[in-house]
Structure 1
């Protein structure tokens, strides 16, 4: 799951009370890293080359990173690494679904760490990025200095069923866009239907499906939607095709696999913190409560009246405080 509205979020904050993001300098290093399957991953490093290494894992799957994400980190204390996952952002080939799986993404993270010569790093991820953060931590616990997760996505069948139709009673106005296209209401039926739509229909006929998906996720995220330009629609269509690839394969994670991974990292001796918007219907707080049962060593900050938007004023302020406290104290202090 991913915030496709990042640029809009910053605009809506104008005049609202929030702790300001740091001004991130231009990258001091960037490039494309060759990995398996012919993929080339775009990455960039910002901030202080000798600073605390912090890896940002974006959402989606398929959303890509934004330079704005680096603004959560003090550039005089952090070495911030932004990585575009396979097929996402500036990574090449764009939108490629071949050899694009969750285990491959976890391997890519470790390839990047070794390429950059980093021993241990703080891993930060929201939504789908939090999913990857947990799986990476379970696979490579010795490479962590800390783990900060926002509104984590648990990648269970129930989570996918909730997003793809299960939440329609809570958001009837947004659902009517899907209903007008003939979306099925039976549990588990919407993903196969969407997959067939995106497989058979030409791109020109998918504009309404893209718009309905966008309006739907904004409603569940508690973020206003806007009219999409053709360029917006083209970008989202590429991204949604990649998301469908993952979601129709259960995110390449065994049922309950994320919770099992969380249980394995419960004994890892590094700071772990979860920050969750209580109004989020993309990755609901009830799912995070289940995750925390498997992470007794993790602390959690619950943010009232905030959905899935990382740049909502209260969420932004909470995240900045946690990141600053880790730099100053080596632990997360709300």
Structure 2
């Protein structure tokens, strides 16, 4: 068998800062690699997530100039965990402001999970700006995906954990967890809010792992991580990710001319392969790679191999 590719060596940003994007929001960004090399942008998951040091390591630093940033309300961006003026359309506009800040005409768009949603939405809004699109763990923001996560689907794979997820809610709210969690996460009881945030974030941590991972669950249990993830993710899902039902599939023709690689774990319990398969049917030119021993996380061996081979493939284009 061919040896699987893994991360490039650890790298520190050569430049970082905050960009005022308006509406009271300031976006944290950093750049890694070689100034003037092939441009790329990394779109993190969630909504409400962020990025870590390992996310910088998916590109050959000699051949790429990569911008990573934390979306509105996330990580080091301010105001923290804010829901005000925080929609998909705002994020698309922020990406364009960041591109202009960098001085790029075009760049490679790379995103996984919610980052795949945002990558598709951004590229469809600005198809002239994407040189390639690299996606992982496809999520459209459609109704069946919410039902998979919060009604019947992941709950049948992890019934014990789903029971823990619902336990913080009153009985009458458990048939609509998104709405019931919203009431707590935007309420005045700070102690209950943090409990709910940790329950929401833990459920996310459970569904993204192929095998049990205490380190992953600890990350999702961190108070700051949990609060941003739960509040922002719940906000987006409550509003259908600010997209029309079926929008991203319906608009695939806008981007079919752009080279695309889709890396999807066969056993992904967070964003199951159905969406990746539907995207491939609508976009036959895309290279869909279903990883037989893969789950959801980008750093699983088979998933990471596919992503790094994709960035290497496009490094000279």
TM-score by length of 2: 0.91
Q: Distance in 1 between matches of 2:170 and 2:231?
A: 17
**In 2 relative to 1, CA 230–33 (structure 1 residues): closer, same or farther, beyond 3 Å?**
closer
Q: Distance in 1 between matches of 2:244 and 2:158?
A: 29
Counterpart check, 1:242 vs 2:229: no
Provide the alpha-carbon RMSD of the alignment.
2.3
Of the three residues 53, 76, 79, the one matched with 2:65 is: 79
Q: Distance in 1 between matches of 2:220 and 2:128?
A: 45
Match of 1:4 in 2: none
Aligned-residue offset at 1:154:
0.7
Match of 1:63 in 2: 49
Match of 1:3 in 2: none
Of the three residues 271, 279, 286, the one matched with 2:259 is: 271
The 8 Å contact of residues 214 and 225 in structure 1, kept in 2 or not, is answered as: no
User: What secondary structure is seen at the aligned counterpart in 2 of 1:251?
Assistant: helix
| More displaced 10-residue stretch of structure 1: 75-84 or 235-244 | 235-244
Q: Distance in 1 between matches of 2:219 and 2:313?
A: 40
Match of 1:303 in 2: 291
Q: Distance in 2 between matches of 1:194 and 1:130?
A: 24
Aligned-residue offset at 1:323:
1.2
The 8 Å contact of residues 151 and 277 in structure 1, kept in 2 or not, is answered as: yes
Superposed CA deviations along residues 21-42 of structure 1, whole A, max 9, x for unmatched, are 1124321221111112111111
Match of 2:159 in 1: 172
Aligned-residue offset at 1:137:
1.0
Match runs of 1:1-334 below 5 Å: 19-167=5-153, 168-182=155-169, 189-200=176-187, 202-221=189-208, 222-226=210-214, 228=218, 232-266=222-256, 268=257, 270-328=258-316, 330=317
Aligned-residue offset at 1:132:
0.8
Q: Distance in 1 between matches of 2:128 and 2:259?
A: 13
The 8 Å contact of residues 57 and 129 in structure 1, kept in 2 or not, is answered as: yes
User: What secondary structure is seen at the aligned counterpart in 2 of 1:169?
Assistant: helix
Q: Which runs of 5+ in 2 are unaligned?
A: none
**In 2 relative to 1, CA 180–92 (structure 1 residues): closer, same or farther, beyond 3 Å?**
closer
User: What secondary structure is seen at the aligned counterpart in 1 of 2:305?
Assistant: helix
Aligned-residue offset at 1:49:
0.4
**In 2 relative to 1, CA 182–114 (structure 1 residues): closer, same or farther, beyond 3 Å?**
closer
Q: Which runs of 5+ in 1 are unaligned?
A: 1-16
